[in-house]
Amino acid sequence: MGVLAKLVGAAGAVGIGGFAYYATAGAEQQFWLISSMGPAFRLLDPETTHNLGIEAAKWGLFPKETRPDPAILRTRVWAKDFPNPIGLAAGFDKHAEAVEPLMKLGFGFVEIGSVTPRPQPGNPSPRVFRIKDLSATINRYGFNSLGADAVQDNLTLFAKKAREDPAAKPGLLGVNLGKNKSSKDAATDYSIGLTKLSQHADYVVINISSPNTPGLRALQGKKELEALVSQVKGTRDRMRWGPSGPPPLVVKIAPDLTQEDKEDIAAVALKYKLDGLIVSNTTITRPGAVAQYPEGKEAGGLSGPPLMDLATDVLADMYRLTGKGKIPLIGCGGVSNGEDAYRKIRAGASLVQLYTALAYAGPGVVPTIKAELARLLERDGFESVAAAVGVDHQPGKRYENAG
């Protein structure tokens, strides 16, 4: 079916009388209808499209996954059960405005943020750029945030609804913390965010790897990272927690690291018993054909398929450097299909995140990736996701890609 026909069909579904049809359609049809509208939305600038997506989710226009995940995708990390290992990375729902509808797309977990202690507008617009031919994006948002108090209110409302109706929270929730641009004390900023938001989180992320906040990536240095982790972890451990204990503390790192940088981060993670690492954020490099496009010359972090190889190589290095499984890793960067997710898992990821693929392919990418990943695990004889984590590091255990 041509793009025009898809757009006509999608428009009809949400037109007069069409909403009733959409609301009663099956999950497969809902995912197809909304994803079919992608070309129309991409006629708008990327930030407007993003904001419309959040509004659509809030108004109940996102599809709802009602089909059960394949049993092979169930996994357990940090003594927590994930229905599947595919999560939504931070950056889509920065202010925790649409947690429930995003979870109901079928993600195993959703990460909100980054959230700064005080509200800040981020960098001037335009600050997001598409490279459509490569399904890639460059952004320099700069931690635009409503602030921790507003996000705390949103998370409190979501937590209340989830208590009243557990079906509102079918997955797990991560909270990604940032620092204010004007702050001179990063550790205090992260500690404030943790104090205000961590009671609602299944895990908490210290984001020190965005390329769009001056000086932020310097916190990945060994001395700076030790001081930061020590203070934030101490803040968490001094708080009162219930029987399940505090949420896991995870650090999100950049892909643009030297070997010494990676070794230093691994050493700090092991020394301070970090609960996990997210590998990785966006890159300031312009690999392959990216630099040939006008948008490729824009400042900011690159995401999408051109990031896949770099981020996965760093993931594999961090898996080795952290003792091959001693610290759970979340693989992020360039995931567009089930094969990409499988590569991340084989390289050492216990969980996998995506974002840019959702922006380009629409919600239908979520069930597609899960189905593809399940087939690949079954093809290679694995009984679970956990059994495949890091297998490419085992002698003689290299698996073919699907393509």
By annotation, the residues acting in catalysis are 210
Give which of 198, 199, 197, 249 is closest to 225, Cα–Cα: 249
Look up residue 242 and give its two tokens: 């219930």
Q: Is the dihedral of CA 189, 86, 106, 55 positive or negative?
A: positive
Q: How far apart are CA 303 and CA 208, in angstroms?
A: 17
C-alpha 263/C-alpha 109 separation (Å) is 29
Residues 313 and 279 sit within 8 Å (Cβ to Cβ): no
The DSSP annotation for 82-110 comes to ES-SEEEPTTSSTTSSSHHHHHTTT-SEE
Helix (H) or strand (E) holding 138: strand 136-139
The pair phi, psi for residue 331, each rounded to 5°, is -85, 125
Distance CA 403, CA 401 (A): 6
Query: β-strand 276-279 against 301-303: which pairing, if any?
Result: unpaired
Quote the DSSP letter at residue 145: B
CA distance 270 to 320: 12
Q: Which of 22, 313, 304, 383 is nearest to 138 (CA)?
A: 304
Give dist(CA 333, CA 30) in Å, integer: 27
Kind plus residue range of the DSSP H or E element containing 251: strand 249-253
Which one-letter DSSP state was computed for residue 271?
A: H
Q: 343: which 2 tokens?
A: 């590569």
Residue identified by tokens 């312009």 is 286
Q: What H or E segment, with its residue span, contains residue 386?
A: helix 385-388
